[in-house]
Structures are given as structure tokens and as C-alpha cells.
Structure 1
Amino acid sequence: MSEAPAPALPAAGSSFYLGMRILPKEKREAMFAIYAFCRAVDDIADDGGPRPERRAALERWREDIDALYRGEIRPVTAMLAPHIRPFRLERAHFHDVVDGMQMDVEEDIQAPDWATLDIYCDRVASAVGRLSTRVFGLADEPADALAHHLGRALQLTNILRDLDEDASISRLYLPREALLAAGMSDLSPAVVLAHPGLDAACREVAARARDHYESADLVMRPQQRNLVRAPRLMEAAYRGVLDDLLKRGFAAPRRPVKVRKDRMLAAFLRQLLP
């Protein structure tokens, strides 16, 4: 049995918390449980401890998830247990998330090629989307399509937002091809973030993120409005972050960009309208 403490709930002031408040109680509680799971495994990936210990902690989570699907509820999965059957949450999608965190544990990711970055985005973001879209109530085909595109859009936005924070722990998620095309040869984080070609490389990533946002919009457009209110809120929040990053640019010094509360509140109110 895992000895880890029960995962924490999202902070009341966070954009995720506000976005999920629009859901009915049973869906909101399911999303908070999924968030708690994701936060717990993400903390393992990012805590900076010895790699063998972090690998072991992730393996315990895999075992806990497997036990849950056998009907054995352990303390760390107690929040998830009530939601597995009602929302058809698949064990494989939980494992996908853990696999994504494993990529960060195995090595400090630095300038992966686009194919590897896409796998990473699928595991740490789109897999979360595959769980979430079932909670929202979408049918399997649009659920998977929305998770694919919106998950990648959000993760690419996060990568652009967190350049300096990631570099401080020896990580660089910008794709190798974009960096080479921008004239870089030394792909170590500190050198990349000081290179004059950084802005061009980041804008290539931003363009791909925009394409995914557009594709996510196409998926959501024909869906019942009440089923896509929460993902539309998250899209509005993070698309706004991407717009602000592009306005700011990527040359040092980089002013931090966060989800704007006024923009999030406006999006929240729009989703409440009939």
C-alpha cells in the first residue's frame, strides 16, 4: 500500500478551480479527484529527489491504480473510486499520465524532437483530457478528439510560459527542429534562452498551439453547450496566456505571464448565459 498522503485539492483561487465550478456537483467532484491525482504524480516528477525514489513512487501509483480497478480502494485512490464507473474512466488513461511523469523522472528533457514532444504532450496533457472529457459527458469520438487537440494546445502554451522555470531545473521542452532552424547549435537550456533566435523558435511552437486551439474549437462547435462549458473556459484562459506571450515576446528579460483573472471571469460569465 502507498504511504503517500492523500492528494491535495485545487486552490480555490486557481483558474482550474474557477473553470470546474461551472460543472454540476458530481462532475465537479470527479474533476477535482482527477486533478488531485495529476497533481500528486506531477509533484513526484518535479520534486528533485533521487531518481530511483521517484521511479519507485510512480510505480506505487501504477500499483494503486491497478488495485483500484480490481476493487481494492487504497487511501490515495479513495477520491477517485466513486467516479470510475459513473464516468467510464479508463485505467489506461491514468497509466498514460504516470508514463508522462516517468519521462521527466528518467532524464531532464532537453530539446526533444517534435515526435518525442508530441508523445510527452499526449501523456501529460491529452491523457488528462481523455479522462476529463468523459466526465464532461462527451461521446467517445469527440471526447478523444477534443482531448487530443486541447491537451496539446494547453501543454504547448505551458511550455512557452514556463521557459525560465523549466530551465532552472535543467529542462527545455522546445523542439529540437525549431531550435536548429533558428540557428542554434548549443541546445543547453541557458544558451537557448539567451540566443537571439529564441523568439522565432517559440513562435513556431505557438503556431502549432494555435492550430490545436482551432481544431479544438471545431470539435466543440457542434457539441451541446453544457457539455463543453468547462473546456471552453480553460481554452479561453490559456489562449489568452498564449496571446499575451506573443505580445510580450520571448527575448530576455521575460516578464511572467499568468492567467488574467478578469479574462477568466468574463469567460466564466459568458458560459453562464443561455
Structure 2
Amino acid sequence: MTTVEDAYTHCAQVTREQARNFYYGIRLLPPDKRSALCAVYALARIIDDIGDDTAQPAEAKLAGLAGVRTSLGDLSESTDPVYVAVADAARRYPIPLGAFDELLDGVEMDVTGREYVRFEDLVEYCRCVAGSVGRLCLGVFGSRPEPAAPTYADELGIALQQTNILRDIREDLGNGRVYLPKEELNRFGVELSVGEDGSLADPGGGLTALIRESAARARDWYARGLRLVPSLDRRSAACATAMSGIYRTLLNRIDEQPSRVFDRRLSLSGREKAVVAVRALTGAGR
């Protein structure tokens, strides 16, 4: 039988190993909140991994996601350490478990190959796969009375996902996924393709211009989402600021030189992430 303590230990290990960016923020939380957020991350990781499993056909992925929905329907029946930890965290904090259903909806969009024609279509996807995570985090953070706090958390998650999309254009294209809205690709005259050298082709500079416009828009979403920070306690604010700070730094680098994402997956060094986290803890990164 899995004990709650063992369940949280397992989730913490998953988070340390796989949350390359988020863990720098999560570690700033006090132990109880850190454990709860690791449980949230571990379940979100399970859902994402099902959707990203290239060895499985779509039918198997959809069946796997349906299985997660079933398990979420009665957490008390599961002996899986992740579900045990999530069940305990949900008893201790007002975690909106329904947000996991939204995350599942978003991953199903990936599995079924949904196309995004307008930016509004993309926002719907981002709200499912990332805004949901923002609201789950808020359930652990807690906040001072602020009716708009869930909206701010949602907007911050959407900002982070827009950054992910710009960073991963090449990788996503290789996996048969295009998140940049068709209307915008057409407006900039972009036909996404990879050249013989393995990098994204941009013969007329349209992709560079599209990335820069998208980066400016994402920056506006960060400004909206970061309105959440003043309603959080100091450690939770530091966590949220560190998470967003790492992605905002990535966004700034993409904006400065879009070609950085043409042939690689841009990332920050461990030292750079640690600096962002320290600045967040001192309040300098807000």
C-alpha cells in the first residue's frame, strides 16, 4: 500500500527530474505547498506524456486520457502514488480538480490534430493546457481576497504557453503540429518548412516578423497575468515570479533574435534559472 509520504516523495522526484523550468519556482515554496504543487505537476506530467507518446496510436492515447478522467472521478480508489498525493493535496488545499479535465481537453486537441485558424482558437487551447495549470497552482498558493485571481492565473498560464509555442515551432512541426494560427501565417506569407540543414526556412523574413509580433502579444499576456502577484503571500509570489521570469527571459531572447529557435530548442542554463529564482525570492524580479 502506498503511503501518503511515499506518494509525495515520488511526485517530488518526478518534478525534480522533469520540471526543468518550473522546479526552480516550486522549490521556493514552504514544504507543505511544495509537496502539493509537486503532486499537481506529476499528474499534469502523466497527462502530457500520454499525449506526447509517439509510439502509441491516437486511439490508445485517447483511451489513456479517458482512463485519467476515470481515476480523477474517484481519487480514493487509486493506489497510484500520483493520485494518492493529489487526493491528499486536494483535501488540504482548495485545488480546482476540474481544471485537470480542461488539461485533458487540451491534450485531446493535440491527439486529434486540431487546427488553429484564428488567434482566438489558439487562446482556447492555451487556456486548456496552461491556464488550467495556472488555476491549479493558485489553489495551492492561496490568495488574499481578489475575485479576479483565477482570471489572472489563467492569463499567466496562457502567456507561458505562448512562449512555449514560439520556442518549439521547429520541434512541433517535426511532430506534425502547428500552433501558429493559419490567418497569421497567411498574413505574413509563411509556409512552415524545414530546410536541408534541418533549420526552419525563412526566405522572405516573414517568420521572423511573425515571431516578433507574437512575442509582443505574449508580453501583454504576461502583464495581465502578473496582476496576480500582489494578492499572493511572499513565498507563493516568489514561486509564480520565478516560473514566469524564466519564460519571460526566453521570450525576450526569442524576440531579440528569432532565428535562435530555427535550429534548436532554446533554453536557459541552470545558473541563469537560479539567478531568476533568487531575484524572485528577493522581489527584484517582479
Common fold by TM > 0.5: yes
Q: CA deviation at 1:237?
A: 0.5
- Which has the larger displacement, 31-40 or 174-183? 174-183
Q: CA deviation at 1:73?
A: 3.2
- Is residue 216 of structure 1 aligned with residue 225 of structure 2? yes
- Residue 53 of structure 1 aligns with an amino acid whose one-letter code is A
Q: Deviations over 1:99-153 (max 9, x none)?
A: 111111112x455421221111001000011110110112563431222221011
Give the share of equivalent positions with the same residue, in percent.
34
- Counterpart of 2:5 in structure 1 is none
Q: Deviations over 1:230-271 (max 9, x none)?
A: 010011101000011112223884343103333322222233
Secondary structure at 2:28 match in 1 = coil
TM-score by length of 1: 0.87
- Counterpart of 1:124 in structure 2 is 129
1:145 to 151, 162, 178: 151
Question: Conserved in 1, the CA contact under 8 Å of 2:238 and 2:280?
Answer: yes
- Counterpart of 2:63 in structure 1 is 56
- Residue 183 of structure 1 aligns with an amino acid whose one-letter code is G
TM-score by length of 2: 0.84
- Counterpart of 1:242 in structure 2 is 251
- Residue 105 of structure 2 aligns with an amino acid whose one-letter code is D
Question: Conserved in 1, the CA contact under 8 Å of 2:21 and 2:273?
Answer: yes
Describe how 1:56-135 pairs up with structure 2 within 5 A. Answer: 56-68=63-75, 71-75=76-80, 76-107=82-113, 109-135=114-140
- Counterpart of 1:165 in structure 2 is 171
Question: Conserved in 1, the CA contact under 8 Å of 2:96 and 2:139?
Answer: no
- Counterpart of 1:11 in structure 2 is 16
1:20 to 26, 39, 47: 26
Cα 1:60/1:113, change in 2 over 3 Å: same
Whole-angstrom distance in 2 between the partners of 1:189 and 1:104? 20
- Is residue 204 of structure 1 aligned with residue 209 of structure 2? no
Root mean square deviation of aligned Cα: 2.4
- Residue 18 of structure 1 aligns with an amino acid whose one-letter code is Y
Cα 1:36/1:251, change in 2 over 3 Å: closer
Q: CA deviation at 1:67?
A: 1.3
Secondary structure at 1:194 match in 2 = coil
Question: Conserved in 2, the CA contact under 8 Å of 1:174 and 1:202?
Answer: no
- Counterpart of 2:182 in structure 1 is 176
- Structure 1's unaligned 5+ residue stretches are 1-5
- Is residue 266 of structure 1 aligned with residue 275 of structure 2? yes
Secondary structure at 2:151 match in 1 = helix
Cα 1:140/1:54, change in 2 over 3 Å: farther
Secondary structure at 1:250 match in 2 = helix
- Residue 208 of structure 1 aligns with an amino acid whose one-letter code is R
In the alignment of these two chains, the number of paired residues is 264
- Is residue 156 of structure 1 aligned with residue 162 of structure 2? yes
Whole-angstrom distance in 2 between the partners of 1:153 and 1:29? 25
- Which has the larger displacement, 80-89 or 51-60? 80-89
Secondary structure at 1:141 match in 2 = coil
- Counterpart of 1:233 in structure 2 is 242
- Residue 61 of structure 2 aligns with an amino acid whose one-letter code is R
